[in-house]
Structure 1
Amino acid sequence: MTAPATGAHAGNGRRRFVAPLRGHVDAACFRHPLFDGYGEYRDLLTAPHWPDIEALNARMPLSGTRFARQDAGLLADGLHYEARTAQGCIATRADNWHDLFNAMVWLRHPALKHALNQQQCRHIARMGSRERSPAQQALTQFDESGVIVQVRDAALLDLWDRHDWAALFRANAARWHDGGITVAAVVGHALMEQVLVPGRLLVGKCLVVLGDPADVLKQVIESMSAGAILTAPSELRPLPLAGIPGWHAGQDAAFYGQEDYFRPLRDGRVYPRPL
């Protein structure tokens, strides 16, 4: 999608995020753990020049799907972005971080992106293009700021349910390294864009898989395609990503005490069961 970036800590402002110029980005930011799993595409981010559409298409693993330069000629077809994508044409702005990260997620997780597009098109067919259902809002939030988290220890999920951030992140720091809780995949391209600016406190919109299934992503894709998940934004669990051990500098007690970022649980807020 090409919507404005979302998912930053409210303390950083709600104005539209403006990414820095390519030449002003420190390539060290791409070593952030958020980019784990995207190592084979790092050259697209660190090369002196923007990759062209042909270079992106050469790496597209999904048959019948291609990136196309978004210009007046492409938009003249009058199609909705999602409808055009469903026809195998992903509109992509040139020299644009947001769309480059979107392309990178397509390259890494094509089946997931295809499932998101299918669901968006299903709801557009039902609602029309002028109104957006709660499901469309949830799908968009996940597409922009989504993180898939695997939790093997149900006690950690209980801490997350209660927003006991100090216990989840600090007291159980070892569990983030021994498999008790794991970031299985970052799929939100808006989150990636915001890492271009060092020090931003990001919040992921998470789907949670409990237990140890053979293929976490496959389970998410199948549930999404069946319409069993992402039916409303309230299904997405917020996760202050800077709290994950090793994801931010200075993770001391005072850091985890910042209630404007590590927010207490709202009265009446109940999260749905994980997958």
Structure 2
Amino acid sequence: MTAATAAGGDAGGPRRFIPPLRAAVDARVFDHPLFAGVRGFADLLAGPGWPAVSMLDARLALPGVQLVEQDAALLADGLHYETRIAQGRIATRADNWHDLFNALVWASLPSLKRALNAQQCRHIAAMAPGQRNRAQAALTQFDETGVVVQVRDPAVLAAWDAHDWRALFEPSHWQGGGIGIVAVFGHALMEQALLPGRLLVGKCVLVQAQEEAACIDTVARAIGEGGVLGDPLQLRPLPLAGIPGWHEQQDDAFYGNADYFRPLRAGRQYPPPLLPTPIL
């Protein structure tokens, strides 16, 4: 069993992921909870052929931005990918799982996508050409492998702080509302989950809130204000296969796999969860 995540954060080290051919993907894979946020686009995911980029653009009708097929003519403008988005065009490769999932996340979580793009563009403008800072790395990691998590129970948070994985993944916490997944944001996670059984690791931003509806707005606002994602170390790793019901085998031996459920590194600390802004 291979441990992996997208953006070089897997238990076995960075490697290039090669997704399966469209015809080789069993449509039942999209029943997994990881795909809950894009399940409304089942025909685009499980149809017999790839949607053309122009058709995808018309179908999703993203406000203020257009999906444009990435080709040599488009890239000839020399713009940074994020800068082009800020000007209203998302470069999208045809017949490509990664870019299809990216488009679907734009359709389902546009406020997060727009906040990330605006913050990336600020950093691009501040950096010398070809250079990247740690905030840009954090923003990219969240874009590729991000998960928004709602936490209500302080005991659950303490277990996560300590990498006490068995306590964190106690089913009663997830079934009783102490913790829950609000949204899988990372489109690279979705691409890798096309191959069932992979041990994916999400990079998480937490919100301490009673109402799930407030979580996405809270994260989008914090990204826009620069209050989160200033460094990759601020992101909390979450071994997604440990969530009750997210993996076929979840016995003691499974949770004892220290290559996947990694112990806390000495000195590693995580920022506290975000708090929703009170409505005045």
What corresponds to 1:201 in structure 2? 199
Post-superposition shift, 1:62? 3.5
Give the letter aligned to residue 72 of structure 1.
A
Post-superposition shift, 1:50? 0.5
What corresponds to 1:145 in structure 2? 145
Cα displacement string for residues 106-131 of structure 1 (whole angstroms, at most 9, x for unaligned residues): 01111110111100000000013311
Q: Distance in 2 between matches of 1:70 and 1:61?
A: 18
Post-superposition shift, 1:270? 0.7
Cα displacement string for residues 190-235 of structure 1 (whole angstroms, at most 9, x for unaligned residues): 1000011121100000000013255100000011101111111111
Q: Distance in 1 between matches of 2:221 and 2:198?
A: 33
What corresponds to 1:109 in structure 2? 109
Please, what TM-score do these two structures have when normalized by structure 2?
A: 0.93
Alignment partner of 2:187 out of 186, 189, 201: 189
Give the letter aligned to residue 127 of structure 1.
M
SS of 1:206's partner is strand
Post-superposition shift, 1:179? 1.4
Give the letter aligned to residue 178 of structure 2.
G
SS of 1:58's partner is helix
What corresponds to 1:63 in structure 2? 63
Q: Distance in 2 between matches of 1:63 and 1:78?
A: 24
SS of 1:59's partner is helix
What corresponds to 1:261 in structure 2? 260
Question: Is contact 1:8-1:194 (8 Å) kept?
Answer: no
Give the letter aligned to residue 186 of structure 2.
G
What corresponds to 2:160 in structure 1? 160
Give the letter aligned to residue 212 of structure 1.
Q
What corresponds to 2:248 in structure 1? 249
Give the letter aligned to residue 52 of structure 2.
D
CA RMSD, Structure 1 to Structure 2 (Å)? 1.4
Task: Extract unaligned runs of 5+ from structure 2.
Answer: 275-280
Question: Is contact 1:204-1:238 (8 Å) kept?
Answer: yes
Question: Is contact 1:135-1:230 (8 Å) kept?
Answer: yes
Where does 1:171-186 land on structure 2 (aligned, <5 Å)? 172-186=170-184
Question: Is contact 1:8-1:201 (8 Å) kept?
Answer: no
Please, what TM-score do these two structures have when normalized by structure 1?
A: 0.94
Cα displacement string for residues 53-80 of structure 1 (whole angstroms, at most 9, x for unaligned residues): 2222123354221100000111111111
Give the letter aligned to residue 33 of structure 2.
P
Are residues 221 and 61 of structure 1, via their aligned partners in 2, closer, same or farther at CA, if it must alter by over 3 Å? farther
Are residues 266 and 253 of structure 1, via their aligned partners in 2, closer, same or farther at CA, if it must alter by over 3 Å? same
Question: Is contact 1:98-1:190 (8 Å) kept?
Answer: yes
Identity of paired residues, percent?
A: 61
What corresponds to 1:22 in structure 2? 22
What corresponds to 2:11 in structure 1? 10
Are residues 130 and 250 of structure 1, via their aligned partners in 2, closer, same or farther at CA, if it must alter by over 3 Å? same
Post-superposition shift, 1:10? 2.4
After superposing on structure 2, the runs of 4+ consecutive aligned residues of structure 1 that deviate more than 6 Å are none
Are residues 176 and 248 of structure 1, via their aligned partners in 2, closer, same or farther at CA, if it must alter by over 3 Å? same
Give the letter aligned to residue 193 of structure 2.
V
What corresponds to 1:212 in structure 2? 210
Question: Is contact 2:8-2:14 (8 Å) kept?
Answer: no
What corresponds to 2:223 in structure 1? 224
Task: Extract unaligned runs of 5+ from structure 1.
Answer: none
Q: Distance in 2 between matches of 1:166 and 1:176?
A: 12
